[in-house]
Amino acid sequence: MKRRTALLTIAASLLTAMTAPIQAAEPLLTSRITNIAPAQASIGQQIVVTVTHPEIDPALAKLIKLNSSKFIDLRGRLPANLSARFNTYKILFSRSGGTFVEGTNVTNLGNNRYSVVVPQGAITGRLKLMRGGAASLSTGTFTVTNLGIALENLSQYRIVSVQVNGVERLGTTQLVQPGQIVDIGLPAGSNHRVIYSIGIDKTRPILTRDGGLHTARAFSSSIGGFPTSLQVARLTAREQLRSTPSISVNGTLMTSTWMAFNVFTGFFEGYDLISNINTGAMTFRRWQGDPLTVVATGTVFEPNSWSNFVNEIAVPFRNPNGTTHANIVITLSNPGALPNFITGDGLVFEPF
């Protein structure tokens, strides 16, 4: 009986405190933004924040746990002015004059992570997390920069990742469609190395490229963004055929090997694909049983057409006299896997 009386006393005092009129100062929110990635970005860029303990007040949570059999639907039994405490988060950015401006497109990514787009008017400062009338300031500072680079996607697929100096700069759900431009806010400097991936979506990257070193440039109001620093070129079949772990380089020639096992003969068969590093031209050597037993040679041609977002492409291998050696099909959509191709005799060749 004493324990029940004590619990009822706690509940009464807790509810009294929670239902008291909201003062001019914002009530403290127990949750807080503890990580901002990236911590430096431009207006219109998507960032991801991590929130600690995104739940109701710990004392109330403990009370609910202790009395789980008695509190069937606590939210429905609380006064109406408490409903705002269960609303979704708002993420606000510092603004001049000591005020805040609300971020846009807040999306729950799970695992206490939320994406948000940096709004117009945001300045460097701490972020504010709000739920209902309660608020807390971030433990770290977010920096708004007017320097950066722009990537223009001219490829057949989406840009699914952009890493600058090893830090991911695209939001968790952010994809750059073919024909689009993405602005990446950066600190001042001229040695920003860009590594980007293009693919169907984030679970199905197709190719990662080293975009080289770039200099952060000033925001241009005339174009509404940063000057384009990098054009993401279209994918080529030859790039896919070079994406093997066994590449060897000899002078200006790069060789990759693809192999298949012939169950009828009991031997491995393969293609050595030789690329000219300077020109990109590619030739092939077809061998059976042993790489020295070459049975055909010729040239690898690019497809005549390559529509956006296709999962497979047909690539012609030509004999020296121009006749068709094989029309292979490269599969591009296997999540996390290297491509493979199949020839007309049913053998599936995989990178070796």
Dist. CA 212–CA 195, nearest whole Å: 7
Beta bridge partners of 309: none
- Given a cut of 80, whether residue 177 has pLDDT beyond it is yes
Residues 6+ apart with CB under 8 A from 135: 26, 27, 28, 29, 128, 129
**Tokens coding 91:** 């993420």
pLDDT recorded at residue 38: 83
3-state secondary structure of 279: coil
Mean pLDDT (whole number) for 155-162 = 96
Query: What pLDDT was estimated at residue 282?
Result: 96
For residue 65, give the DSSP letter: H
Q: Which residue has the higher pLDDT, 113 or 72?
A: 113
DSSP one-letter code for 221: T
Amino acid at 317: F
Average predicted confidence (pLDDT) for the chain? 83
Query: Global pTM?
Result: 0.68
The least confident of 86-90, 136-140, 186-190, 246-250 is 86-90
pLDDT in tens, 316-336: 999 999 999 988 888 887 766
Residue-level pLDDT at 124: 94
pLDDT value of residue 146: 87
Q: What is the pLDDT of residues 273-311, one digit of tens each?
A: 999 989 989 999 999 999 899 999 999 999 988 999 998
Q: What is the DSSP letter of 311?
A: S
With a cut of 80, say whether residue 52 has pLDDT above it.
yes
Measured CA to CA in angstroms, residue 176 lies from 116, 154, 158, 237 at distances of 16, 10, 5, 21
CB 131 within 8 A of CB 84: yes
pLDDT in tens, 225-282: 889 999 999 999 998 888 777 788 999 999 999 999 998 888 999 999 999 989 989 9
pLDDT over 60 at 80, yes or no: no
Give every CB contact of residue 151 below 8 A, 6+ residues apart in sequence.
159, 162, 176, 181, 182, 184, 194, 196, 211, 228, 229, 230, 231, 232
Which structure tokens are listed for 298? 């010729």
Q: Record the tokens describing residue 263, joined without a space.
A: 């169950």
CATH match for 26-54+89-144 among 2.40.50.140, 2.60.40.10, 3.40.50.1100, 3.40.50.10880: 2.60.40.10
Of 45-59, 78-92, 299-313, the least confident: 78-92
Q: Where are the domains of the chain?
A: 26-54+89-144, 147-235, 238-351
Among 46-55, 83-92, 146-155, 337-346, the least confident range = 83-92
pLDDT tens sequence across 199-222: 999 988 988 999 999 999 998 878
